[in-house]
Structure 1
Amino acid sequence: MLCAITAALLLLGCSPGGDRGGSGGTADTGTFDFAGNTPLGQLVPVDARQSAPAFAGELLDGTAFESTSLAGDITVVNFWGSWCAPCRVETPEFQAVYADVRDLGVRFLGVDVKDQRQLAQAFVDANGVGYPSLFDPRGEVALAFRGFPANVVPSTILLDRAGRVAAVYVAVVPEADLRRALDQLLAETAEDIPR
């Protein structure tokens, strides 16, 4: 069974190296522990969401970044690489969605993995990406999300306004599916989100 899941994850995204694979279940601490991907366009039920880990790093432009700056906003965290063919399809679609929702309390954060800074910046420039990306050549941000398959690129994690993992997609996310998931998150009220 584990071999079948690992093979499926590798087929869904680019993978330059060995996959850590998904493991786990819900952690007793309520922090995120990867147990599997979310069907495209769908969300984890509000009462089953787990807190995202804190992470930090350096943006492609050299600016320091801390995940605490995302507090209170819905966030799309997208793991990508300039070497990843499916990312060339997904990134322009993510930029189009970002342009439509950035003023609605939705943030986008790219996480460039296993890459060279110059190639990553050229990819961002060529695709007209307006949202920031962390430069994470060793994949440390993905490793902060316990059990998350760090080598499956592209992958996307959606965080709700409370900083909890609302969806995990380990494949290309078509624009329509991303919009549907974000519409659901935007429709959640303050009463829906535990404090």
Structure 2
Amino acid sequence: MNARRWTAGLLAAVAAVALVGCTSKGQEKTCTTTTDGIFECAPDQRSAPPKLAGELLAGGTYDVSQARGQVVVLNFWGSWCAPCRAEADDLEATYQATKASGVTFLGVNVQDQRDKAKAFEKGRVTYPSLFDPPSKLALALDIPPNFVPATVVLDRAGRIAVVIRAAVKQEGLQPIVERIAAEKSASS
């Protein structure tokens, strides 16, 4: 429990700094945050792609840079998280509805035990998850999620387009993903 509190505190502190404005290499970015926890940057305001790679929950490794050219939806979750259980069906439905348009999903399991995480995923989602018990991958993000669940949408160039710091529903997430997928591909 202390590790969860420490990680949550660290992520909250990093997120508080990020909320002041989206920055990249000293340049001020103009991004917006809505009252319902959605943080979004316009295509010309997005920072360089984050480096996200690690061990998959089911074994093997994965590097998000492999998905350049696709929109990537990252969902930070834990088997111990009730809102994560509630949103799993909506994430899977959005994945199934958008994958034909060049969208891929990737879970990021945090603060969990591998057996519990695998049991949680079984029969819920068909996309893979990175296994990140210490929650280090969130720190690689310029605009990190500050709690779990959180969903990050990367554009086709691998840059952070949207951060949703709340549980998602298909009717809210799918239009966002479709809008990002419809953007013209930008160079990274």
TM-score > 0.5 by shorter chain: yes
RMSD of Structure 2 on Structure 1 (CA):
2.5
3-state SS, counterpart of residue 27 of structure 1 = strand
User: Offset at 1:29?
Assistant: 2.3
Deviations 1:93-115 (A, max 9, x none): 10011111112100100000000
**Is 1:76–1:107's contact at 8 Å kept on the other side of the alignment?**
yes
Seq. identity, %:
39
1:165 maps to what in 2? Answer: 160
1:137 maps to what in 2? Answer: 133
**Is 1:158–1:165's contact at 8 Å kept on the other side of the alignment?**
yes
- So what's the TM-score if we normalise by structure 2? 0.83
Please, which moves more after superposition, 19-28 or 154-163?
19-28
Tell me how far apart the structure 1 counterparts of residues 71 and 99 of structure 2 sit (CA, whole Å).
Answer: 10
Change beyond 3 A, Cα 1:27–1:73? same
Number of residue-to-residue matches in the alignment: 175
1:5 maps to what in 2? Answer: none
Deviations 1:67-99 (A, max 9, x none): 211211001000000000000111111001111
Tell me how far apart the structure 1 counterparts of residues 32 and 111 of structure 2 sit (CA, whole Å).
Answer: 23
2:50 maps to what in 1? Answer: 53
**Is 2:49–2:157's contact at 8 Å kept on the other side of the alignment?**
no
User: Offset at 1:59?
Assistant: 0.4
- So what's the TM-score if we normalise by structure 1? 0.80
Tell me how far apart the structure 2 counterparts of residues 46 and 140 of structure 1 sit (CA, whole Å).
Answer: 26
User: Offset at 1:183?
Assistant: 1.7
**Is 1:37–1:169's contact at 8 Å kept on the other side of the alignment?**
no
2:85 maps to what in 1? Answer: 88
**Which stretches in structure 2 are left out of the alignment for 5+ residues?**
none
1:19 maps to what in 2? Answer: 9
AA partner of residue 118 (structure 1): D
1:188 matched to 2:183: yes
Aligned ranges 1:81-120 → 2 under 5 Å: 81-120=78-117
Change beyond 3 A, Cα 1:157–1:147? closer
Which residue of the other structure, out of 125, 148, 164, is the alignment partner of 1:153? 148
**Is 1:156–1:168's contact at 8 Å kept on the other side of the alignment?**
yes
User: Offset at 1:126?
Assistant: 4.0
